[in-house]
């Protein structure tokens, strides 16, 4: 009887062996989700018992619109006695009646993405073959558990944190007042994996390039922002979010990615740096690349690759606005991702900086990274990708230039430690803040000790027009470790008048967060009538929800309105199995 395939069982149940061994049992749904460089099992049922002496069998794995063997997007999986780790191969591990269980091995360099499977069988005598196409696809992800994979991370606790943890903390505020908010990365939630694969499909990266994490991360950096490629998020720093969602209102990547996917790639409004970073963490962890969100306090934005933050003043010491394109943000959030860097000299693997916030273009596209943190720390700014830009964010000098009467400029002052403070990320295995500044830059403690010997009080009298936030004239006294121009003095104020003072002195409005006491607020919820909440009073809102995943979880609540932002809380809960 001619051999033919009746059915193929991908053994893809969440509770089955494949998903458990590949650490993909947390993903929603019953698709077969596997990690490259590791074997998985499938079961093939024939119309009669399979005879290893007279019958032959092979599989075909295809990904992308035009699969080709030469580009690694079409793999012919032959039946062998002992599979090799560096190639696609299959081995019979169990045979019972008409059913054969195969162990399929993929190389650690396999292209990641969505694969279609066909099974071809026939006789060794050369009779015509029959082909069966599997109705379900196989998802192949990066594998941090595989030593041969370039994203291999040799620490189980860190793999649990940077790949499997679906919640985290993102830091914001100022170096003197660091705030933290819990973020739901949700990489295993329903629809998120599909959205991440959709992003790869929508990008300009060919399927053959999806096996290299450097390429994938670089593309994700571009696709998370919508600046020039209709990516996921529209950036907005104007303060007007009336036609979208305020960046401070987001506390999860899940809704953003689902909305982007369901709209067939229409960008979601709006995001700022912490939202871009949160979504980037979700996408990278979902694809199997270890990732974390990182906050840099006093973060420089170097617009001209000078590796310095340049401030230009006229003859009267007033800022020259059209020249002052460089700036320092009180905080900026980007990402670290973990991978080997065979494209760089030895020693530059490990954590790589990647930034999805659209700041400057890289090779014509708004993206940044991956830049080796080792290269950033050692100042090797000639190494790719975008190492000079990230170096300037954490380690540039702040240079003040004054225009001379003949139109030339002279340097009048420089600050050596103005940027790159308290670089922070969530600690592995806890909700504490981990300071990773030492990974990005060398310690500058000796210089600090010398400067502090000359510290003293500085006093400035500032007049503010058109505001009732403060009296019309206010005197500020603070202890300073160095001399600085007058607009630097305002950074010590903890009042709403600071924003106006900064604008009056420098012509710039800074994206600064302030701590204020809630005296009166109006809440508007679909299930809560609008009402006022007085000082020191409490309002209670009851919401009903159905948990989708068992185990230890975090319940996050947030409040956002024009008058008050970044109000959020979190509670640890345990969800039991049914």
Q: Which domains does the chain have, with CATH numbers?
A: 5-141 (2.60.40.10), 156-455 (3.90.260.10), 510-575 (2.60.40.10)
Which of 483, 547, 512 lies closest to 174, judged by CA? Answer: 512
Tens-binned pLDDT, residue by residue, of the chain (578 aa): 889 999 999 999 999 999 999 999 999 989 999 999 999 999 999 999 999 999 999 999 999 999 999 999 999 999 998 877 789 999 999 999 999 999 999 999 999 999 999 999 988 777 778 999 999 999 999 999 999 999 999 999 999 999 999 999 999 999 999 999 999 999 999 999 999 999 999 998 999 999 999 999 999 999 999 998 999 999 999 999 999 999 999 999 999 999 999 999 999 999 999 999 999 999 999 999 999 999 999 999 888 888 988 999 999 999 999 998 888 899 999 999 999 999 999 999 999 999 999 999 898 899 999 999 999 999 999 999 999 999 999 998 989 999 999 999 999 998 888 899 999 999 999 999 999 999 999 987 544 333 233 334 445 555 555 544 444 444 444 444 333 434 333 333 333 333 333 333 333 333 334 333 444 444 455 555 666 777 888 878 888 888 877 888 888 888 777 777 778 888 889 999 87
What's the pTM? 0.83
CB 388 within 8 A of CB 297: no
pLDDT of residue 445: 54
Which of 339, 27, 385, 333 lies closest to 188, judged by CA? Answer: 27
Q: How do strand 361-362 and strand 233-235 relate by DSSP bridges?
A: unpaired
Name beta bridge partners: 95: 100
pLDDT of residue 123: 84
Could you give the residue ranges of the DSSP H alpha helices within 325-364?
Answer: none
Q: How do strand 433-435 and strand 421-426 relate by DSSP bridges?
A: antiparallel
Instruction: Read off the tokens for 476.
Output: 């500020």
Instruction: Read off the tokens for 286.
Output: 């979902």
Could you give the residue ranges of the DSSP H alpha helices within 396-536?
Answer: 437-440, 445-452, 486-489, 497-506
Interatomic CA distance for residues 451 and 15, integer angstroms: 61
pLDDT of residue 485: 39
Active site residues: 273, 332, 355
Interatomic CA distance for residues 82 and 352, integer angstroms: 37
pLDDT of residue 504: 30
Instruction: Dump strand ranges (E) for 250-340.
Output: 268-271, 291-301, 308-313, 327-339
Q: What are φ and ψ of residue 163, in 5° steps?
A: -125, -45
pLDDT of residue 175: 96
CB 163 within 8 A of CB 141: no
């Amino acid at each position: 009887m001619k051999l033919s395939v009746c059915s193929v069982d991908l053994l893809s149940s969440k509770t089955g062996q494949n998903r458990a061994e590949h650490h993909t049992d947390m993903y929603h749904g019953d698709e077969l989700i596997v990690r490259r460089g590791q074997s998985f099992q499938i079961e093939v049922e024939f119309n009669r018992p399979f005879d290893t002496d007279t019958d032959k069998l092979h599989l075909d794995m295809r990904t992308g619109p035009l699969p080709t063997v030469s580009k690694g997007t079409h793999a012919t999986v032959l039946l062998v006695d002992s599979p090799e780790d560096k190639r696609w191969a299959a081995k019979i591990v169990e045979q019972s009646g008409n059913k054969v269980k195969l162990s399929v091995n993929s190389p650690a360099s396999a292209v990641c993405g969505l694969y279609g499977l066909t099974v071809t069988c026939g006789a060794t005598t050369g009779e015509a073959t029959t082909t069966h196409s599997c109705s379900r696809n196989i998802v192949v992800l990066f594998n941090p558990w595989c030593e041969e994979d370039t994203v291999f991370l040799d620490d189980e606790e860190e793999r649990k944190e940077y790949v499997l943890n679906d919640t985290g903390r993102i830091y914001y505020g100022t170096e003197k007042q660091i705030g933290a908010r819990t973020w739901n990365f949700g990489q295993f939630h329903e629809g998120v994996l599909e959205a991440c694969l959709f992003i790869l499909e929508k990008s300009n990266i060919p399927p053959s390039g999806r096996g290299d994490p450097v390429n994938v991360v670089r593309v994700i950096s571009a696709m998370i922002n919508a600046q020039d490629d209709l990516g996921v998020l529209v950036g907005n720093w104007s303060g007007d979010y009336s036609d979208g969602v305020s960046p401070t209102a987001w506390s999860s990547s899940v809704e953003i990615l689902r909305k982007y996917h369901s709209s067939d790639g229409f960008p979601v409004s709006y995001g700022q740096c912490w939202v871009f970073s949160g979504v980037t963490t979700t996408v990278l962890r979902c694809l199997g690349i270890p990732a974390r969100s990182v906050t840099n306090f006093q973060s420089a934005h170097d617009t001209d690759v000078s590796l310095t933050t340049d401030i230009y003043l006229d003859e009267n010491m007033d800022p020259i606005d059209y020249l002052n394109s460089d700036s320092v943000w009180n905080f900026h959030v980007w990402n670290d991702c973990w991978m080997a860097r065979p494209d760089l000299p030895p020693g530059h693997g490990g954590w790589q900086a990647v930034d999805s916030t659209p700041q400057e273009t890289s090779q014509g596209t708004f993206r940044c990274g991956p830049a080796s943190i080792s290269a950033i720390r050692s100042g090797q700014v000639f190494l790719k990708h975008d190492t000079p830009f990230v170096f300037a964010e954490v380690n540039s000098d702040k240079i003040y230039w004054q225009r001379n009467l003949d139109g030339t400029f002279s340097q009048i002052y420089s600050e050596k430690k103005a940027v790159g403070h308290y670089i922070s990320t969530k600690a592995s295995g806890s909700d504490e803040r981990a300071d990773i500044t030492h990974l990005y830059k060398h310690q500058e403690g000796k210089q600090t000790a010398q400067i502090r010997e000359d510290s003293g009080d500085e006093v400035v009298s500032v007049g503010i027009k058109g505001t009732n936030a403060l009296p019309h004239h206010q005197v500020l006294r603070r202890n300073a470790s160095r001399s600085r121009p007058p607009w630097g003095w305002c950074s010590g104020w903890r009042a709403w008048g600071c924003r106006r003072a900064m604008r009056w002195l420098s012509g710039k409005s800074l994206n600064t967060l302030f701590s204020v006491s809630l005296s009166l607020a109006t809440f508007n919820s679909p299930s809560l009538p609008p009402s006022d909440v007085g000082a020191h009073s409490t309002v209670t809102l009851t919401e009903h929800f159905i948990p989708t995943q068992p185990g230890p979880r975090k319940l996050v609540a947030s409040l956002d309105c024009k008058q008050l932002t970044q109000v959020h809380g979190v509670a640890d809960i345990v969800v039991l199995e049914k």
